[in-house]
A = this chain, B = another copy of it.
Amino acid sequence: MIKKRLFTPGPVSAYPPSLQAALDANIHHRTSDFKEILTSVIDALRRIFGEPAEMFLLTSSGSGAMEAAVTNFFSPGEEVLIASCGKFGERWIELANKFQLKATVLKFPYGDPVNPDDVRKALRENKNLRAVFVQACESSTAVQNDMDELTRVVRDTESILIADAVTGLGTMSISVKDGIDVMVSGSQKALMIPPGLAMIGISEKAWKRVEASTAPRFYFDLRAAKKSWDQGQTPFTPATSLILSLRESLRAIEESGFQNLIRITENRARATRAGLNAIGLEIFAKRPANAMTGVVAPGGDADKITSRLKQKFGLQVAGGQGELKGKIFRISHMGYIDHFDTLGVLSALELTLLELGHKVELGKSLVEFQKVYAELK
């Protein structure tokens, strides 16, 4: 009977009307009814991605769209730059290797953001670099990169900027219009539906490459997708029920304002950090994300903290990944949650730390959270 709340950085707590919408799944994908649904979803995605030249919806998790970003714009042997600051940056490296791109890698320590100056320098030194790969938000370390500066650095070069925005979309101000050439996202994050759909928005500059690219691809071939889209269809049977859910989420998000969603998420993250700091906890990221907050676990107790939060309080936060396992835990600010839910996480965290023998001044994180929230617009 413990009430369960999901604070993992994807899947997130889904928007109930979106889940309900999936019940209406007895629909065939090659009908005018479904064409109308798909078109409205793509139109809404175009708006929130910032009017990309091409916008596609894929039936896969976000990693499928990451593969599409690697296989549709290059040919084997071409040179690219990967600016990696965590586990998902390493996924770009793995993908580039698998599909035989010649990758120059700038690796930043876990917790640090990508340094745009290093990217600028690399682009100046090697004019053959065809792209810069980056995470808008690196979910493994809860770091948010300086996308404003990174878009400035890449904009006037021959390179295209490819951003994993799986947790960046809807949590920070980024868009194709603002200079991201290939922007990838997923359904189970700020869009508040279950996993299974991925999105990719593409600029004019990047789309020009698609026909020339000789990398092998089929399921994620955007040339085939383009041909089908132009008739209001998908090349393969899409996840119809999830698309119905997505339509509902996009409708709700646009009704209350997409910029509001970003602002609210940012505020929630800021207030959370203030609360955590007030009880002496350290934020792991040097440049903290809005999408989620990574917290250094006192005494390396991350596993104990996350399991107690779940078992005693029904709160599911995420541990660290890879080398950060046991060291940090992450609290999502995405999904169908409000600031009272997040207040609950701070409350449970204080009680948990106390139980584990750490010193905590009870209520202090709540007071600070409250203060910050009151000041925010």
Contacts and interface: CB of A to CB of B under 8 A. Distances in A.
Contact of A11 (B29, B98, B99): B29
A28 B8 contact: yes
Given A61-B236, A216-B216, A6 B29 contact: no
A22 B196 CA distance: 12
Interface in A195-238: 195-196, 215-221, 235-238
Contact of A316 (B22, B28, B241): B28
A194 interface: yes
Given A59-B60, A61-B237, A240-B194, A28 B98 contact: no
Contacts of A217: 98
Nearest to A319: B30
Contact of A64 (B60, B98, B240): B60
Interface stretch (A12-20, A251-259, A266-274, A358-366): A12-20
Contacts of A188: 237, 240
A376 interface: no
Contacts of A157: none
A334 B302 CA distance: 48
B19 A23 contact: yes
Contact of A236 (B4, B6, B63, B100): B63
A93 to B, nearest CB: 12
Interface string A71-109: 000000000000000000000001100111000000000
15 contacts: A11-B25, A11-B237, A23-B23, A25-B194, A28-B318, A29-B195, A61-B236, A63-B235, A98-B217, A194-B240, A196-B241, A196-B242, A215-B216, A216-B216, A242-B242
> Which 10 pairs show the lowest CB-CB distances between chains A and B?
A196-B239, A194-B241, A63-B236, A61-B237, A61-B236, A25-B194, A8-B28, A195-B237, A67-B219, A64-B219
